[in-house]
Amino acid sequence: MTFRKRAIGAAKLDVSVFEDVEADRGATGQALAIVVLSSAAAGIGLTTSTYDAPVITRVILALLLWVFWAALTCAIGLYLLPESQTETTIGELLRTIGFAASPGTLRVLGVLPGIGRPLYAIGTVWMLIAMVIAIRQALDYRSTARAVLVCVIAWVIAVALAALIGGLLFFAADALFS
């Protein structure tokens, strides 16, 4: 399956795409590309009226948020809330949740006046839904509710960490360049 078909399939929430990516070790680079594109879209789409920081800072924070989220999802899903049949590798999990970031590329539309914020929110929620499916498939969960729980717990902690680091970076940049 091509990179484009995988990205579109993940955005369409196609379970077979997540299974395909999980099994294909060669898809790791593609998953990373999706994460970088989605993070860039988030950083660009998060308008300065919402978060007053340079675009590069916003992009870095979006990427850090994804990294925190992925790491927490792995830890929570594999070690705190596994089901009896849960069996995966970190690579399988990272590939599937990497492709779950596909809908996040829509967040670049956040720059559009008037409709940008709702479009940004839609892209983020869509990405969260894709993440639930990716987690369910990668961790072989029978329960979608468990996948939702893993994603919500990881998301809350990751957002708090990213906000803390973002605040520190913003404060440091302001102190250096003022």
pTM for the full model? 0.84
Do the Cβ atoms of 97 and 35 come closer than 8 Å? Answer: no
Q: What is the pLDDT of residues 84-109, one digit of tens each?
A: 998 888 889 889 999 999 999 999 99
The dihedral sign for the CA sequence 82, 7, 120, 171: positive
pLDDT per residue of the chain (178 residues) written in tens, 0 to 9: 899 999 999 999 999 999 999 999 999 999 999 999 998 998 888 875 556 677 787 788 888 888 888 888 989 999 999 999 988 888 898 899 999 999 999 999 988 888 988 999 999 999 999 999 999 999 999 989 999 999 999 988 888 887 787 778 767 766 776 6
Rounded to the nearest 10 degrees, the angle between the axes of helix 116-138 and helix 28-45 is 160
Domain parsing of the chain, residue ranges = 3-171
At which residue do the structure tokens 């800072």 appear?
57
Amino acid sitting at position 173: A
Determine the Cα–Cα distance for residues 168 and 165; give it in Å rounded to an integer: 5
Q: What proportion of the chain, given as a percentage, has pLDDT over 90?
A: 53
| Cα 108 from chain centre | 14
